[in-house]
Structure 1
């Protein structure tokens, strides 16, 4: 992490913290009546998130799955358990306590962040239900995950973060690493940031 992304704080919004990245829009044409399981809106969100993930992570590639659990009165969590195929992989799970990742929101210094890190292969993770759970977090639909989950691809030197049903960030050490993603999924780029993103790949 420090080698490929020096001084990067692993927290939202990643796109605005690194020079090389893409911000994709996942949810389009939302309507309040679409707040139900497998609605047309959510099917579109899932499709984009899953397609982007598959394009970035081959089954045999080594990845870190990192979860930030912000502690406002910490209770034990089993974030990864439902989403790991072989439970023996969980013996590789690392945990450390770090300063609260949003210090600007904690002037009194009351909070901390628990960071869980799992090194595995992409194929070890049931990433389809995991991505869906992340996308569900603001929709009132279960299963849902409210913690920030980051996928760090060791081989490609990328970081992928779906922040909720609205969108996701993709960071890379080199623009060339993700140029194919930029070209293939160009229509999904968030228009608000498109001008800055286009500059990176010209």
Structure 2
């Protein structure tokens, strides 16, 4: 199965761009970090806040994904059309795959640059997708890298030229999509709110907003 075949059947018209929550009628928008500032008074990084964020996103992921679920790991890489012929998928996927043979199974498709900026026609988006299972991934490190977008923390995604990559976790076993946009928050959408209701009820204090139909 290819990612777009699945999306056309289960999440028609949804685009893999921030924000997926605003594109779908069923979902939860979580606020991360409990409004703790990322920097201390002396301008040093507040690592306590980041550790709490890592704990939150790991908790959410583990509530949504089981080790044997079938998932697509989808990554958007943004690049200048002429300055770089291609983006190295290895820089995003290789550090987080337990079995490097999966690199040969990654699919890629090129799309127009999805954001409104000056000279947007000079840029494009390369979208990579890999059908795998959570057990095939170094999930904890992958989640951290997704949340470290705006700060010089490791792990980080590599291989990008203009914008930090966007990574989506698509659970095709449960029809759930999970997206961490940065250390401030994450989004979950689903075909059926019953799938995510336990998450909403158990971690209601983290919920910024939600939609159930």
TM-score by length of 2: 0.85
Q: 1:132 to 1:35 in 2, by over 3 A?
A: farther
Pairing partner for 2:37 from 18, 30, 47: 30
Consecutive unaligned residues in structure 1, runs of 5 or more: none
Per mean C-alpha deviation after superposition, the further-off stretch among 176-185 and 137-146 is 137-146
Q: Distance in 2 between matches of 1:171 and 1:163?
A: 14
The runs of at least 4 aligned residues of structure 1 exceeding 2 Å deviation read: 34-37, 72-77, 104-108
Which residue pairs with 2:3 in the alignment? Answer: none
2:61 paired with 1:53? yes
CA RMSD of aligned residues (A): 1.8
Q: Distance in 1 between matches of 2:151 and 2:44?
A: 6
Which residue pairs with 1:172 in the alignment? Answer: 190
Equivalent residues of 1:36, 1:141 under 8 A apart: no
Per mean C-alpha deviation after superposition, the further-off stretch among 180-189 and 147-156 is 180-189
Deviation by residue 1:154-187 (Cα, 9 ceiling, x = unmatched)? 0110110001000100011111111111111111
Consecutive unaligned residues in structure 2, runs of 5 or more: 1-6, 158-163
Which residue pairs with 2:75 in the alignment? Answer: 67
Which residue pairs with 2:87 in the alignment? Answer: 76
- Aligned with 2:54: secondary structure? helix
Deviation by residue 1:104-149 (Cα, 9 ceiling, x = unmatched)? 3356522110000010011001010011111112122122232000
TM-score by length of 1: 0.89
Q: Distance in 2 between matches of 1:127 and 1:108?
A: 33
